[in-house]
Structure 1
Amino acid sequence: MSTAIEPVDVHTDPPRVRPQGFWQREGADNAKRNLALLGVLILLLVIGAITAPEIFLDGEHLWNNELTVLTQASSIGVLTVGMTFVMISGGIDLSVGALLALASVWCTTVATQSYGAGSMIFTALAVGAGAGLINGALISYGRLVPFIATLAMMLSARGLAQSISGSHTQINHDTFINGFAADKIAGVPWVVVIFLAVVAVGWVLLNRTTFGRRTVAIGGNAEAARLAGINVRLQTVLLYVLSGICCGIAALIVVSQTTSGSNTHGDLYELDAIAAAIIGGTALTGGRGTIVGSLLGVVIFTQITNLFVINNLQLDLQRIIKGGIIVVAVLIQAFRVSSLWRKPSTS
């Protein structure tokens, strides 16, 4: 006599077995973490007011400085949105920085052939999406570990970008693309508006669609998600395509800011994106993460860099401090995850 397996509704009951009250505690934990991140951001502003009062205690200078922070965070922030989705699913994408470089070189090559801004935008997005499709196919159907597949893509994309550009910086003369960084709307640069728009779309996608719920389900337990009727392979491919599209958008932002495409763009951006997502609470093991947390992680990470630059700290010291911040964030995350999974006492 066979026993039928009852279907699991992933929209209301995630496939991974959670302790009683897990989701309520996780929601409260997310809210507390985001408040803590806001507290850290305020603390950084206080530190800025102490170390550089001429900037942080003057309203106009403070506004301009924070706009600079958001402008600097825009490209990495867009990459972090895509990275957050990939990490929530239990994956990783080491190729985002190299794909940014490849998309920047390819789209500026199109520009030199006088095809215009529309073709540049299409090329950047197509290059990112195509590379993401390859990543996802290798992982889902080639059964490669995400670390290996995206590492190989990182090396290949960086090499291809160098080959296309001939190791030369390609100047972009398209005024529409360059205007993303130069022009403003209501005093805010367009690159910041684009960044915040990507964040908003990412939040809706993760929290208000079946795509987001399937992503979380796969990160919680891929096999249980498969038994619940989710096409895990297709979903994984789509997630890496999404990450690639974010790379294309970030490439357009960097091209606008530097007015050029180069195979050196995006160097180590993948580490900054991963670090920002971790600081924002995205679990390396998958199944947990929020777009709001990642946004705060990006801003905090960039604000720290801004303080380093203002106070003329050496680059090696900056990297040491950033590395320590990442370690602390992972340790805090591990402690919180273990406390969430701890079953409440009945005594």
Structure 2
Amino acid sequence: MSEQTPVPQATTSPADEHRRVESVEGAPRGSAFGRFMSSSAGRNVGLVVALLVLCVVGAATTGQLFVDVDNAMTILRYASVIGVVAIGMTFVVTGGGFDLSVGAIVALASIWSTTVATQTMAQDFHWIVMVFTAIAVGAGCGLVNGVLIAYGKMAPFIATLAMMAAARGLAEMISDKRTQLVDVQGFGDFFSGDFLGLPVLVWIFAVVCAVAWVLLNRTTFGRRTIAVGGNATAARLAGIAVNRHTVLLYVLVGVACGIAAVMLTARTSTGSAQHGLLYELDAIAMVVIGGTLLGGGRGTIVGTIFGVLIFSTLTNVFTLNNLDTSTQAVAKGAIIVIAVLLQQRVAARSDTS
């Protein structure tokens, strides 16, 4: 009977193997520059660079027209209106949803706040009636969206698409497809004025951004929004009322649309069913460019602000170079695709590191 060949013994002890595994797991992966660019600070630096490049391109292609102070104020006024919508959209996207009806809600809120009945009440009492009306209409539309999605179990795409059609159609019915002029003098005087050298609309946007940053980063509401967007099932098991929170998110974006409607009505002195066209495209693009994950679970107010400034500057450069709206829409669509692809690449790197 032949002897069995002895099995070789391990040359390393369990303690040595444990230390080896720890050293591999703790080793930094990727370059320092790559890790920095994947962080929130790195993404913001990239956005600043992109904004500066756009400014250089604008100055080079349009000359004095772009660098003029009046043009800068025009960019800020446009950015302020769509920016408020984008801030609201940031919360919804962070919470794992999105809203295609924001532009139509802005139109409906502007129409409802400039009807003869509303303006008569505003003249008899105070122009604040118009503000409350617009915000209430926006919140009501958001409430309908939220209930349909959270409790009706409808996909956000379907629910908000239906709201987009219904709100725009209702705005046309109320206004009889006519533009409604603002006759309340105090309303235009307040919102069209300046404060410390900047338009009141810009200050409103700044206040909305500050409140939104605190809400998302320093409150339980913000932490729950991130949790719901990251994993709704885990959030529910952790004791978060996911359905109620989802409704609140859509009400929040509705309120943002109401505020934007007030700002747009003041800027144009009109209420129109055509207000807010393609706002949903612009808002989603600004949010995604800013670094908020389209699938939810991560949101950034600062990034959205940079996204708003980048997109507003880009639109201004297109306009000054006499590019038609169709070309602008194609460019914006391409930017959204590129931003999402970059997000996916960064996410893949994070998963492997």
2:260 to 239, 250, 253: 250
1:83 to 89, 92, 96: 89
Q: CA RMSD in A?
A: 1.9
State the match for 1:316 in structure 2. Answer: 326
1:304 to 287, 311, 314: 314
1:328 equivalenced with 2:334 (yes/no): no
What is the Cα deviation at residue 316 of structure 1?
Answer: 2.6
State the match for 1:121 in structure 2. Answer: 131
Contact 2:92/2:98, CA 8 A, preserved across alignment: yes
Aligned residue-pair number: 319
State the match for 1:186 in structure 2. Answer: 196
Contact 2:145/2:159, CA 8 A, preserved across alignment: yes
Contact 2:119/2:130, CA 8 A, preserved across alignment: no
1:262 to 247, 250, 272: 272
Secondary structure in 2 aligned to 1:113? helix
Contact 1:80/1:277, CA 8 A, preserved across alignment: yes
Partners of 1:271 and 1:153 in 2: CA distance:
15
Identical-pair percentage: 53
Q: What are the within-5 Å matches in structure 2 for residues 269-288 of structure 1? A: 269-288=279-298
1:240 equivalenced with 2:250 (yes/no): yes
User: Could you tell me which amino acid in structure 1 is paired with residue 51 of structure 2?
Assistant: L
Structure 1 stretches of at least 4 aligned residues deviating more than 3 Å after TM superposition:
25-28
Which stretch shifts more, 178-187 or 92-101? Answer: 178-187
State the match for 2:219 in structure 1. Answer: 209
Contact 1:84/1:290, CA 8 A, preserved across alignment: yes
State the match for 2:79 in structure 1. Answer: 73
2:160 to 147, 150, 171: 150
Contact 1:111/1:174, CA 8 A, preserved across alignment: no
Secondary structure in 1 aligned to 2:39? helix
Partners of 1:181 and 1:122 in 2: CA distance:
15
Contact 2:37/2:43, CA 8 A, preserved across alignment: no
Secondary structure in 1 aligned to 2:273? coil
Partners of 1:124 and 1:34 in 2: CA distance:
33
Change (3 A) 1:127 1:314: closer
User: Could you tell me which amino acid in structure 2 is paired with residue 87 of structure 1?
Assistant: V
Partners of 1:41 and 1:328 in 2: CA distance:
16
1:95 to 85, 95, 101: 101
State the match for 1:135 in structure 2. Answer: 145
What is the Cα deviation at residue 56 of structure 1?
Answer: 4.8
Which has the larger Rg?
2
Change (3 A) 1:51 1:123: same
TM-score by length of 1: 0.88
Partners of 1:337 and 1:205 in 2: CA distance:
25
